[in-house]
Amino acid sequence: MKDPINSKNPPAILMVDDTPANLELLSGMLKGRGYKVRAAVSGKLALQAARNDPPELILLDINMPEMNGYEVCAELKSDERLKDIPVIFLSALTETMDKVKAFGIGGVDYITKPFQFEEVEARVETHLELRRQKNRLQENYNELRELKKLRDSLVEMLIHDLRPPLKSISDQLGLVKEKEKTTLSADSVRRLAEAMKTALELINMISTVLEKGKPGEEKTANAPDKRGDTTPPPAEHY
């Protein structure tokens, strides 16, 4: 037998069965292993208990008056807050179609009565661990999405801030070329032209990245925006 659950926050299990003796027997065993167990003697009470304080796992009988286990499970799966809680059916029904229906409606496992407590505990712990792993994966995914958003925002900010100084450098190089072209050597003129070409290529690359980062906006090349036409001519122009 496994060691008792050792946790300040033991897993919470909701048991649903219309037979008090069954609830008392299994809940006593689970509590003895360290689980936090609540019991409900009807489907309606089970739904109320789950909505008031969602458990981490539900052990659900099928044959109950007024509202059977299939109906309870369907209600749980239609509730956004409760739909991801694993439901293990615990029933005396042994027909294959009963089990197929249980899985089809959203159950994660099916244990037939009479049961062995060791089997119940093993399946309970398996599905609790799967739930923990799923929650961790979701948390990691959410963190990665937030990090990606932050990275994209930083990249866009840096790229956006680079465009004005590069444009200024390009303009200044153009002025130098025009004013000093009669006094500069051919080699200096060539170097100036190469520097201007490089600056304009960088400006064009930045403009392309910024435009791609605007979903839903379609702009033609060199089309003016609300602030006027600031798109530089192609680098080959120089």
What's the pLDDT at 207? 73
Q: pLDDT tens digits, the chain, 238 residues: what are they? A: 455 565 678 999 999 999 999 899 999 999 998 999 999 999 999 999 999 999 999 999 999 998 999 999 999 999 999 999 999 999 999 999 999 999 999 999 999 988 889 999 999 999 999 998 998 898 898 888 888 888 777 777 766 676 677 777 767 777 776 766 667 677 777 777 777 777 777 777 777 766 765 544 444 444 444 444 445 454 444 4
What's the pLDDT at 236? 45
Kindly report the pTM of this predicted structure.
0.63
**Domain-by-domain residue ranges, the chain?**
12-115, 145-237
What's the pLDDT at 83? 94
Q: Where are the beta strands (DSSP E) in 7-141?
A: 12-16, 36-40, 57-60, 87-91, 109-112
What's the pLDDT at 152? 76
What's the pLDDT at 47? 97
Distance of CA 200 to the CA centre of its chain: 40
What's the pLDDT at 3? 53
CATH architecture of 12-115: 3-Layer(aba) Sandwich (3.40)
Q: Is-contact 70 99, C-beta < 8 A?
A: no
Q: Where are the beta strands (DSSP E) in the chain?
A: 12-16, 36-40, 57-60, 87-91, 109-112
How many alpha carbons fall within 13 Å on the CB side of residue 183? 4
What's the pLDDT at 5? 63
Q: How far is CA 137 from CA 29, 86, 123, 131, 188, in A?
A: 31, 16, 21, 10, 59
What's the pLDDT at 213? 59
3-class state of residue 37 by DSSP: strand
